[in-house]
Structure 1
Amino acid sequence: MNSKTNNMIKAAIFIAIGLILPYFFHMVGMAGPVFLPMHIPVLLCGMILGWKYGIVVGFITPLLNSFLTGMPPLFPTGISMACELAAYGFLSGYLYKEKRLNIMFALVLSMLGGRFISGIMNYILLIAKGNNFVFKAFLMGTFVKGFIGIIIQLILIPVVVKALEKGEKVTA
């Protein structure tokens, strides 16, 4: 199987994980915004497959979740998340695979960059709808409510990426 086909299959698997993980978290209540399960496969995809796949997986995953499960609601959250996760996928792939930054530094920059895009998108979408954008509420929802998810990402993603890279070297 050629490399492009192999990467497309892996990208589809990351999308599937991005659909399944949030579903299980939502079965236990509204735990998605706390544990951020959709972020993990997108960040992993960028770091493993690169920014081109990361941006696509990041953009598609929340929209598919919205259409298939109703979570997140498409407007404004689903659209905002599609841009946020596309930024995660792009930045994690670009910073880690292209610029070869340290995995933790690339991960933190990706997470901050995605949240910055989320803030911009939420502002634009809420103002366009005639609602107010409350910066303090955005910060609380993005950093405080999702603190556990952020910690999980900072621990889990480097471990998974390094294990997969080590596995590739062993099989090569």
Structure 2
Amino acid sequence: MAKTATKKLVLAGLFLALGLVLPFLTGQVPALGNRLLPMHIPVLLCGFVCGWPYGLAVGFITPLFRSLLFGMPPLFPMAAAMAFELAAYGGATGILYRIFPKRPGYVYGTLLLAMLGGRIVWGGASLFLLGLAGAPFTWQLFLAGAFLNALPGIAIQLLLIPVLVLALQKVPGGKGLL
């Protein structure tokens, strides 16, 4: 039991570190980062590999910590809304991956539902936070931010994450991770 908890804690730390470092691939260009969503990948993987509590925690901490360390994304309202969004991703992948029947496509089903849920949470958090600031958050802003602008990142997630999860299931010792 303690060995498993230690392994999950170390892996969660690795996913947190990846969430801090991967956005450097977009060159700190917010428009590119908003399209490729590099912070989302390690958080989604953390939920799959470590389970919902770790995925939720890593998801919540990553954008806030990155904002405080590197100034990107801006803490308010972007990193604050992303904290709730990524927490939902990590928590949802961890829960859904464990409860879905292990049939063909269950990894995609888990991923799609988590991505949809996280985007809805982001919309709610953005609505609340921007409301506090007296700024409007319209349906058009939600659709653009959650889906239209994010299409390249969504495609990367749908291609990369299931391949990585399925590969981890096949490696010796991988079943112990998943």
TM superposition score normalised by structure 1: 0.94
Distance 1:99 1:122 in 2: 30
| Per-residue deviation, residues 67-91 of structure 1 (Å, max 9, x unmatched) | 0111110101101000000000000
* Aligned length in residues: 172
Letter in 2 for 1:77: M
Matches within 5 A, 1:83-162: 83-100=84-101, 102-162=106-166
Secondary structure class of the residue paired with 1:133: coil
Cα shift readout 1:22-78 (whole Å, capped 9, x = no counterpart): 122134673110100000000000011110110001001001110011111010110
1:31 is paired with a residue whose SS is helix
Equivalent in the alignment of 1:74 = 75
Are 2:165 and 1:164 equivalent residues in the alignment?
no
Write the mapping of 1:22-61 to structure 2, written as runs, cut at 5 A.
Answer: 22-27=23-28, 30-61=31-62
TM-score (norm 2): 0.91
Distance 2:160 2:28 in 1: 22
* SS in structure 1 at match of 2:131: helix
List runs of 5+ in structure 1 lacking aligned partners. none
Residues 100-150 of structure 1: per-residue CA shift (max 9 Å, x gap): 461101100000000000000000011111111121022112211110100
Change (3 A) 1:86 1:170: closer
Would you identify which runs of 4 or more consecutive aligned residues in structure 1 move more than 6 Å?
none
Residue type of the alignment partner of 2:32: A
RMSD: 1.8
